[in-house]
Chain A
């Protein structure tokens, strides 16, 4: 406080400036963790989900754009796709791992995104419960189905 301001106000009744001899009362910081603070019950799930969206997002940019380039752009685009083309690509472990990683990351990334959308727009607790139940069921089913297809693919099925 500048000198001219305090001069204009005059001495405050019964008060003096805080100094080493006269310290201000200690006020504990809000939400400070102390021995009496109850243990966190929710953990860091939402933070982990937030981080997962960014990490998986960067990887998916490479995996998905590479996938699009091969399937829809190069070598005749969609016209060349067929059982023989799939068999040729999954003969290589590299593309099996590529597709497996893409399947898992994209499904989990999309499921978490839709979970956020449901939380935002479904106002009744019961509606959220059912929509998320449906979402998780469909997600688990699709991930397992896709994984099974990649691992059990048989080029000589016929």
Chain B
């Protein structure tokens, strides 16, 4: 690794990296998502056919990943706003990050069944 590439590390840098990575991933999905939705202007059959791929178990796993990326980006985005606009934000940025991670873990656990339940029923029978 070239010298000077790794910035300070720790919570501040890694949350910034995760915010970037999740942001880019969500943006690329958004392009695909607008295109697949545009199929409603082609025909109901074309739309339903493409949406059927969204209901397969493998894509369900990707949807769980999408939820993970969006939840982190949303929660950490609120933390960034707090760091920028709240006078004590910079002092509590670490605590706020671990709060974000804690809420994220709880919400991801709660999302398991609603997002992946149908895939589990298809794979293992109901």
Task: List the interface of chain A (C-beta within 8 A of B).
Answer: 54, 57-58, 60-61, 64-65, 68, 72-74, 76-79, 81-84, 86, 103, 106-107, 110-111, 113-114, 117, 138, 142, 145-146, 148-149, 152-154, 157-158
- Range, interface on chain B: 35 or more
Picked from B41, B80, B115, the residue with its CB within 8 Å of the CB of A77 is: B115
- From A145, which residue of chain B is reached at the shortest CB distance? B38
Known A-B contacts A73-B114, A142-B31; the reply to A58 vs B24 at CB < 8 A is: no
Decide if B31 touches A78 in the complex (CB within 8 Å): no
From A61, A78, A86, give the contact of B55 (CB < 8 A).
A78
Q: Scan B1-35; emit 1 where CB is below 8 A from any A CB, else 0.
A: 00000000000000000001001101100110011
Kindly list chain B residues whose C-beta atoms are within 8 Å of the C-beta of A65: 70-71, 74
Q: How far is the CA of A113 from the CA of B80 in the complex (A)?
A: 14
Besides A74-B114, A113-B24, A114-B24, 19 other A-B contacts (C-beta < 8 A): A54-B80, A54-B85, A57-B77, A57-B80, A61-B74, A64-B70, A78-B55, A78-B63, A78-B115, A82-B51, A107-B34, A110-B23, A113-B23, A117-B24, A142-B34, A142-B35, A152-B41, A157-B43, A158-B45
Q: Is the CB of B48 within 8 A of A83?
A: yes
Contacts of A84 in B (CB 8 A): 44
In the complex, chain A residues whose CB is within 8 Å of the CB of B43:
157-158
Contacts of B51 in A (CB 8 A): 81-82
| Neighbouring A residues of B106 by C-beta, 8 Å | none
C-alpha gap A77/B119 in the complex (Å): 11
Note all chain B residues with C-beta closer than 8 A to A154: 41
Residue among B44, B47, B117 with max Cβ neighbours from chain A (10 Å): B44
Chain B window 107-121, contacts with chain A (Cβ cutoff 8 Å), 1 for yes, 0 for no: 000010011011000
Interface 1/0s, chain B 55-87, versus A by CB < 8 A?
100001001000100110010011011001100
A132-B96 Cα distance, complex, nearest whole Å: 33
* CB–CB A106/B30 < 8 A: yes
